[in-house]
Amino acid sequence: MDTVYQSQINYQTANQEDLAEQLFLIEELGIPYLKVDEELHIQKWNHAFLEATKIKEADLTYTLDQLAEQQPFFAFCLDLLEETIQTKKRQEDDYEDEEANYRIRVAPFLAEESLYIILEDRSLQKQFEHLLTFHHQMEAVSHIAAGVAHELRNPLSVIKGFLQLAKLTNEFEKYYDTILSELNRMNGIIEDFLSVSRKKIDRKRQSPVQIMESLIEIINAECLLHDVELNIELTETSRLVHVNESMVKQVMLNLLRNSIEAYGETNKNRTLLIGTRIENEQYVVYVKDNGKGMPESVLKQIGKPFFTTKESGTGIGIPLCKKIIEDHGGSFRIESTYNVGTTVTVTLPLH
C-alpha cells in the first residue's frame, strides 16, 4: 500500500511540475490568463487578458460570481470553473459572441489551490473564415452570372430563328405560340437563378417521350436554318421520369446548339441524329453529329468549368448540363473522334 501511495504522490508531483512549467511558458509568451482561488476570488491576470477581453482592470476587483451576473463571458467561465473544481481535471470549451471567439481552458493548480483560466483568441481566425466565405460567395455569383448569360442564349437563338422563318414565310401567327413559350422560359431561367438560395427544384413525374416531342419543332427549325439534316428516332414508353422539364429542355437545346456550332463553315452533308432507347431502367437520349469532333486532348478537358474552344464561349455550358442531369440521378457522357463527329449520351432513371 505504501508503494502505491508513494507512486500516486510522485505522479501528482510530476503533473504539478509539468503544469508549473506550462504556466511559466504562458507568462513568457504573453498568453491571456486569469488566476482565481477555489473561492472564485480573482488573484492575478496579465495585460494580454485585459486586451483580449476588453475588460477594465478595475472590474477585476469583483468576485467572479459578481462578474458572471453582468457579463456572459464570465458566466461561461464560471460554469467551466465549477466543473473543474468538481472533477479536479482540466476543462475546455469554445466561447463565441458577436465580437469575440475564444477557446477557454480551465486548469487546476493543486499546489497553490488555485485555477487558471487560459484564453486562445480565435477572433482573427473567425474574421478570416468570414472573408473566405465571402470569397466563395463571390465565386458562386460569377458562376451563376456566366450560367445565366449562357442559358439565355438558347431561347434567344430559337426566338431569332422563328422570327427569321416568320419573315420568310410571312406566317408570324404560326410561330407566335412558340416564341411566347420561349420568352416565358427565359423569364423562368432568370427567376431560377435569382432564387439561388432555394436548393429545391420543381420536379414532377412526366412522359420523357412527350418532353422530346415538344422539342422537335424547335430543333427542326434550328436545323433548317443551318442546313442540317435532322433524323429523329424516339422509342415509345409509358413509363415516366421525375424531372424539372425546363431544365431537361435546357440541356437538350444546349446540346443542339453545340452540335450546330461544331459543323463550322466548310462542313457539308450535315446530319444530326437524336434518338432514345430504354436500357437498364434508364431512359437514354443520344445526340449524334458528324461535325468536326474533338481530339483526345480537348475531350479530356471539355467537362471542366470555364474550359472552352470557342472564341466567345464561357466554358460553363457542358459542366452545367452535366450537373443538371446528375442532380436528376442520371448520367452525362461525351464521346468524340476528331474529323468524324461527336455523340453525347444522357440517361434519366425511369419510374
Contact 224, 267 (CB under 8 A): no
Query: How many beta carbons lie within 10 A of that of residue 314, not counting itself?
Result: 17
How confident is the model at residue 235, as a pLDDT? 94
- Residue 193: burial class (beta carbons within 10 Å; 0-12, 13-18, 19+): middle
Instruction: Name, in order, each residue with C-beta under 8 angstroms of 268's C-beta and a sequence gap of 6 or more.
Output: none
How confident is the model at residue 287, as a pLDDT? 94
Cα distances (angstroms) measured from residue 336 to each of 26, 276, 333, 340: 65, 19, 10, 8
How confident is the model at residue 205, as a pLDDT? 93
Q: Which residue has the cell 436500357?
A: 279
Instruction: Name, in order, each residue with C-beta under 8 angstroms of 4's C-beta and a sequence gap of 6 or more.
Output: none
Q: Is the dihedral of CA 173, 179, 180, 181 positive or negative?
A: positive
How confident is the model at residue 199, as a pLDDT? 44
What φ, ψ does residue 98 adopt, rounded to 5°?
Answer: -65, -30
Contact 97, 72 (CB under 8 A): yes
How confident is the model at residue 195, as a pLDDT? 45
SS3 call for 108: strand
Contact 282, 242 (CB under 8 A): no
Instruction: Name, in order, each residue with C-beta under 8 angstroms of 41's C-beta and a sequence gap of 6 or more.
Output: 63, 64
pTM for the whole thing? 0.46
d(CA 222, CA 29): 73
- The secondary structure of residue 309, as a DSSP letter, is S
SS3 call for 119: strand
How confident is the model at residue 140, as a pLDDT? 47
How confident is the model at residue 128, as a pLDDT? 67
Q: What is the pLDDT tens value at each position of the chain, 351 positions in all?
A: 444 434 444 444 445 555 556 566 666 667 888 888 877 888 888 888 888 777 888 878 777 888 888 888 888 888 888 888 888 888 888 887 766 778 888 888 766 678 888 888 777 766 665 565 455 445 545 555 555 666 677 788 888 888 888 888 888 888 888 888 888 877 766 665 554 444 445 788 999 999 998 888 778 877 887 888 999 999 999 999 999 887 888 788 888 888 888 787 766 788 999 999 999 999 999 999 988 888 887 777 776 555 455 554 444 577 778 888 988 899 999 998 888 889 999 999 998
Residue type, 273: L
Closest by CA position to 159, among listed 184, 142, 139, 141: 184
d(CA 276, CA 239): 13
